[in-house]
Amino acid sequence: ESLAIMLSFGARSAIRARPASAVAARSLSTLLVGEHADGKLSEATLSAVTACKSFGDVELLLGGSACKAAAEGACSVAGVSKVTFAESAILDHGVAEEWTPFIVNAQKASGATHVVAASSAFSKSVLPRVSALLDVAMLSDVIDVKDDSTFVRPTYAGNAIATVSSSDAVKVVTVRPTSFEKAPTSGGGATASPSADAPVAVGLCTWLSEEVKKSDRPDLASAKVVVSGGRGLKTGENFAMLDSLADKLNAAVGASRAAVDSGMCPNDMQVGQTGKVVAPDLYIAVGISGAIQHLAGMKDSKTIVAINKDPDAPIFQIADYGLVMDLFEACPELDKKLSK
């Protein structure tokens, strides 16, 4: 009943009416920096919404010349209280120097206690800048939230799990999308409004071009099934065997660092400590020995299959099903038997 009265007075008067001790406990709110493509919020951002559920109201911040459709769509995401967007070409391509003042200003305007984003190349590049300007420490790649100031994150390539508590007034956090369920895209009732503060070009850095690999397959970071190849495949051409398996399993294709470094496949396919972190239902490691750095990127997969001719390969220690067999025999046989 008292809550209803407080709400009817609005947040400001409710705070004034509280005893001094309650005022000291600042109310929590989150500024969630979202990513979008083709008029839709990214799946990783939906996972980040879930991670924010103990940080008060969630204001989603979107930017870029074509972000309005994504902003309107995001209003129905359960857990989002407000959507603020800036339709500005200055924010296209996620240039860190341009995004930083935009996010810092939004944090100052809202007084958000938490600035959050899903871990990605974009957020890893921008949020540390934001954090430095706010003079706070940052928490990267959080895999669990204990309370509004206590976070769990992997260190040493996932071989030590640290629980850390922050005493900073503002918590700047990136969350690992594979560790949180995606928030439902319906049930929310937020409204989208343009940002009051239009970005002003800083101009320190100019985006020139990009080289994006187009694929019809599911996105590696969010695919339900991943087939990955390593040094054992010997040549880039042999990845065609994995492509064929992937097509039958509706899977994404990944790679170990050894395969990427030897030029067998592009960098964005790399799974591991320094590449992408995946946690699909099924991960099939083909010709991958299982170095610590690779395991860091896939060991939270639900079911792991290893195909390797070396029975002592470390990958077999974590694989649910290990097949000791030459991959050049195993893959075609698997392919044939999946066709049936």
Of the candidate residues 82, 176, 276, 294, the single one contacting other proteins (CB under 8 A): 276
Beta-bridge partner residues of 63: 86
Are 14 and 4 a contacting pair, CB within 8 Å?
Answer: no
CA distance 329 to 180: 38
Residues 80-119 that bind other proteins (CB under 8 A): 93, 95-97, 100-101, 104-105, 108-109
- Residues 182, 117, 183, CA angle at the centre, nearest 5°? 15
Of the candidate residues 138, 173, 246, 259, the single one contacting other proteins (CB under 8 A): 138
Q: Closer to other proteins at the Cβ: 210 or 216?
A: 210
Of the candidate residues 257, 286, 288, 327, the single one contacting other proteins (CB under 8 A): 257
- Other Cβ atoms closer than 10 A to 20: 6
CA distance 155 to 159: 6
Q: Closer to other proteins at the Cβ: 188 or 315?
A: 315
Strand 57-63 with 29-33, pairing: parallel
H or E stretch covering 287: none
Of the candidate residues 29, 45, 131, 289, the single one contacting other proteins (CB under 8 A): 131
Residues 279-308 that bind other proteins (CB under 8 A): 281-282, 292-293, 299, 302-305
The 191-220 site mask, x for binding other proteins (CB under 8 A), equals -----xx--x-xxxxxxxxxxxx-------
Beta-bridge partner residues of 324: 308
Q: How far is the CB of 229 from other proteins (least distance, A)?
A: 17
Q: Answer yes or no: is 231 a known binding residue.
A: yes
Beta-bridge partner residues of 118: 175
Q: Answer yes or no: is 273 a known binding residue.
A: yes
Instruction: Tell the residue number behind the tokens 């087939």, with chain if given.
Output: 227
Residue 323 touching other proteins (CB under 8 A): yes
Q: Closer to other proteins at the Cβ: 80 or 143?
A: 143
Q: How far is the CB of 241 from other proteins (least distance, A)?
A: 14
Q: Answer yes or no: is 131 a known binding residue.
A: no
CA atoms in the 13 A half-sphere facing the CB of 127 = 26
H or E stretch covering 26: none
Using alpha carbons, select from 105, 101, 133, 128 the residue that is nearest to residue 117: 128
- Other Cβ atoms closer than 10 A to 152: 15
Q: Answer yes or no: is 322 a known binding residue.
A: no
> How many chain residues interact with other proteins (CB under 8 A)?
97
Q: Which stretch binds other proteins (CB under 8 A): 8-16, 24-32, 71-79, 330-338?
A: 330-338
Q: Closer to other proteins at the Cβ: 77 or 334?
A: 334
Q: Answer yes or no: is 290 a known binding residue.
A: yes
Are 289 and 314 a contacting pair, CB within 8 Å?
Answer: yes
- Other Cβ atoms closer than 10 A to 210: 6
Residues 5-34 that bind other proteins (CB under 8 A): none
Using alpha carbons, select from 291, 267, 271 the residue that is nearest to residue 279: 271
Q: Closer to other proteins at the Cβ: 71 or 225?
A: 225
Q: Closer to other proteins at the Cβ: 78 or 249?
A: 249
Tokens representing 161? 């799990």
H or E stretch covering 285: strand 282-286
Q: Which stretch binds other proteins (CB under 8 A): 21-29, 77-85, 177-185, 332-340?
A: 332-340
Of the candidate residues 135, 147, 237, 312, the single one contacting other proteins (CB under 8 A): 135
Please tell me what DSSP assigns to residue 39.
T
Residues 164-183 that bind other proteins (CB under 8 A): 164-168
- Which residues are part of a known binding site for FAD? 231, 256-257, 270-274, 287-294, 308
- Which residues are part of a known binding site? 231, 256-257, 270-274, 287-294, 308
